[in-house]
Amino acid sequence: MRIAVDAMGGDYAPEVVVQGAIDASSKLDIEVLLVGDKDSVAEALDKHPSQTRVSLYHCTESIGMDESPFKSVRQKRDSSIRIAFELVQEGEADAVVSAGNSGAILAAGVLTLGRLKGVQRPAIASILHGENGEIVIIDVGANVDCRPSHLLQFGVMAHAFAVACLEIPDPNVGLLNIGAEAGKGNEQVRLAQELFRESHLNFIGNVEGGDIFGGDVDVVVCDGFVGNILLKMSEGLADMITRLVKKELIRSTPTRITGPLGKRHMSRLMKRLEYEEYGGAPLLGINGVGIVCHGASSSRAIMNAIELAWRFSANRVIQKMVSELDLYRAENDFSRLSASKNH
Amino acid sequence: MRIAVDAMGGDYAPEVVVQGAIDASSKLDIEVLLVGDKDSVAEALDKHPSQTRVSLYHCTESIGMDESPFKSVRQKRDSSIRIAFELVQEGEADAVVSAGNSGAILAAGVLTLGRLKGVQRPAIASILHGENGEIVIIDVGANVDCRPSHLLQFGVMAHAFAVACLEIPDPNVGLLNIGAEAGKGNEQVRLAQELFRESHLNFIGNVEGGDIFGGDVDVVVCDGFVGNILLKMSEGLADMITRLVKKELIRSTPTRITGPLGKRHMSRLMKRLEYEEYGGAPLLGINGVGIVCHGASSSRAIMNAIELAWRFSANRVIQKMVSELDLYRAENDFSRLSASKNH
């Protein structure tokens, strides 16, 4: 398998991206194509003369974090994000990983690979670690204003992803809301509840903010405005808490915490809290595999994102998603038929 | 000063409410009126025969957590929530504290005390502890669908509260959004930005989810849908992390953590994370002082909420809020005048 990695994306590119690619290629049975400007990437890559599985794919342009997504992807035909997806389109690579402008990654995915049949709005999912395992939140920022039917599609796609990529057998799908009762929430969510209830998904109803990390839900559906704020807030809160814990521990147990035992335990804890562990957020709804990484990604985050791209491709998640979307469309046709009978 | 406390509200009422009231009355120079059914409250109160500052105010009804707010307050004329606010209306008490149905608390506050002049939508604020001090988030659940002008009013009220009650000299007000740039966000937030920019508030622009706990913002404005999810998620995440920290610490340093030094440091940390410390959420926009507590409040949370009610009343926050709302209305009249000039 070959993964195209955007070497120009992220706050610490290209160095940490190159390092992450090298680490992933020695851990997994993959090749990596680093897409970027040869002068800046070669310098970082030359530090690893003995490796053979990471190679450079030269391009001349890159897209900045604040550039308009669709405009920049259309105009910058030789940008690293666009070229990475074109490599997938041409069969030269199996997946894309980028820590660049997330809107541009989504736009490039849609423009080059297209959407899966029946998908109105591709979305960005995020994988969080809760107390009882992995949780998928969708959408975390691609779509700020959503219709109820968009939310249902997010649920269908994330359900397929949870089954096929995370190997959760029968994921519980919940709709993020401000109360458990059916009548709660804003209009968008109240209407979406009915659609979810009629679907083939294992819908457990509304979930509240407090149920995300410690509850029974595997897939949490919300619009991209709420999801993005939530995701960033949880990262910020986890960051603050880990800093506070470290500070208090250094104060209270100066010798223990620097000892190997304390260190090992604390690092296991920190691993569960840091977003680096999650690696990246999968794009769902495009006809291919794209992983969006945090702009501030470390080499470990890049490595984990490449591993996620590998699992995403190896587990044939797209095929599973296509089947679920077929089922979803059949259901929707069926409900239209039964609705017209009542008229 | 006399605080009316709803003795029937909350998951552990009346015992923990009575205990919280007793603790607050011995800490502060206040009296507490416990509003509730005499048979159930007297039993808990009789366990403290020597105290003299907490007394019982009998009523026959209570409102359940799932009852319709306005309907239940209108119909249950002798319910503890309604009677507590009527005691304020009649001058028998200065503030209300309740861990009951938050919608009913808001409804009772509006029905008995009315709104402050110019307020379209009263809101519930919440006080969180960030890295650089206290942060006010408004609204955390009273209003699920908000117009841009509602968001501005929330900002005006919370600004006054932060100045007068939390003694933050010149609070930075931010609008919760998914990006720092002016064009970001959904329609509601894009329009609200302009209103905030024209106002007298110290508006610092958009703040993202990650800026809440570690940033420069003192007042975070959002609609009640986003705010409620955010608040509950942060409680859930903090709960999970504290459980994980405790578990890992017990594993790694079995002797130290049970020693007095470790305990003291960890308890200081936990204090910063647990919502109990914040006590309760102030209702802003009604003509009086009402504090909403978490349904699962402990006696410590009730005590802290009573202390917040005391600060709210003693610092004459309502008067400050009235002045700010006057200023806000003057600005809005002014902008209407200048708008009509352009026609």
Q: Render pLDDT for B249-308 as a digit per residue (tens, 0 to 9).
A: 666 554 444 444 455 555 666 665 655 666 799 999 999 999 999 998 999 999 999 999
Q: What is the pLDDT of residue B270?
A: 60
Q: What average pLDDT does the segment B56-84 reach?
A: 96
Is the model's pLDDT at A268 over the cut of 50?
yes
Q: What is the pLDDT of residue A247?
A: 73
Q: Say yes or no for a CB contact (<8 Å) between B209 and A245.
A: no
The least confident of A256-265, B47-56, B57-66 is A256-265
Q: What average pLDDT does the segment B296-323 reach?
A: 95
Q: Say yes or no for a CB contact (<8 Å) between A226 and B228.
A: no
Q: What is the pLDDT of residue A258?
A: 46
Is the model's pLDDT at A256 over the cut of 50?
no
Q: What is the pLDDT of residue B186?
A: 86
Q: Say yes or no for a CB contact (<8 Å) between B144 and A185.
A: yes
Q: Say yes or no for a CB contact (<8 Å) between A229 and B131.
A: no
Q: Say yes or no for a CB contact (<8 Å) between A213 and B236.
A: yes
∠A96-A102-A106 over CA atoms, to 5°? Answer: 60
Distance from CA of A209 to the nearest CA of B (A): 4
Q: Which residues in chain B have their CB less than 8 angstroms from residue A134's CB?
A: none
pTM (predicted TM-score) = 0.88
In chain A, the residue whose alpha carbon lies closest to the alpha carbon of B175 is A229
B151 vs A246: which has the higher pLDDT = B151
∠A172-A160-A115 over CA atoms, to 5°? Answer: 135
The residue among B33, B7, B26 whose CA lies nearest residue B18 is: B7
Q: What is the pLDDT of residue B179?
A: 84
In chain A, the residue whose alpha carbon lies closest to the alpha carbon of B236 is A210
The least confident of A37-41, A51-55, B60-64, B232-236 is B232-236
Q: What average pLDDT does the segment A91-110 reach?
A: 97
Q: What is the pLDDT of residue B331?
A: 79
Q: How confident is the model at residue A343 (pLDDT cuts 50, 70, 90)?
A: very low
Q: What average pLDDT does the segment A91-95 reach?
A: 98
Q: What is the pLDDT of residue A214?
A: 83
Q: What is the pLDDT of residue B234?
A: 87
Residues whose CB is less than 8 angstroms from the CB of residue B99 and which lie 6 or more positions away in sequence, other chains included: B6, B9, B10, B11, B13, B17, B280, B292, B293, B294, B295, B297, B301, B302, B305
Q: What is the mean pLDDT of chain B?
A: 89
The least confident of A13-17, A129-133, B192-196 is A129-133
The residue among A315, A324, A289 whose CA lies nearest residue A164 is: A315
**Cα separation, B316 vs B290, whole angstroms:** 13
C-alpha separations of A180 from A117, B35, B145 in Å: 33, 29, 18
Q: Which residues in chain B have their CB less than 8 angstroms from residue A131's CB?
A: 240, 243-244
Identify the H or E element spanning A95. strand A95-98
The least confident of A77-91, B128-142, B160-174, B283-297 is B128-142
Q: What is the pLDDT of residue B343?
A: 35
Going along A122-222, which residue ranges are E strands?
A: 123-130, 133-138, 173-176, 203-207, 219-221
Q: Say yes or no for a CB contact (<8 Å) between A236 and B176.
A: no
- Residue B304 · residue B297 · CB < 8 Å: no
Q: Which of B130, B251, B268 has its CB closest to that of A265?
A: B251
The least confident of B67-81, B144-158, B247-261 is B247-261
What is the percentage of chain A residues whose pLDDT exceeds 70?
88
Residues whose CB is less than 8 angstroms from the CB of residue A68 and which lie 6 or more positions away in sequence, other chains included: A103
Q: Which of B222, B236, B253 has its CB closest to that of A210?
A: B236
Q: Which residues in chain B have their CB less than 8 angstroms from residue A239's CB?
A: 210, 213-214
Q: What is the pLDDT of residue A271?
A: 62
Q: What average pLDDT does the segment B123-137 reach?
A: 91
Is the model's pLDDT at A69 over the cut of 60?
yes
Q: What is the mean pLDDT of chain A?
A: 89
Q: Say yes or no for a CB contact (<8 Å) between A66 and B145.
A: no
Q: Which residues in chain A have their CB less than 8 angstroms from residue B213's CB?
A: 233, 236-237, 239-240
Q: Which residues in chain A have their CB less than 8 angstroms from residue B222's CB?
A: 229
The count of CB pairs under 8 A between chains A and B is 166
Q: What is the pLDDT of residue A276?
A: 59
Q: Which residues in chain B have their CB less than 8 angstroms from residue A237's CB?
A: 212-213, 234, 237-238
Is the model's pLDDT at A339 over the cut of 60?
no
Residue with tokens 């979810």: A196
Q: What average pLDDT does the segment A330-337 reach?
A: 62
Q: What average pLDDT does the segment A263-283 reach?
A: 67
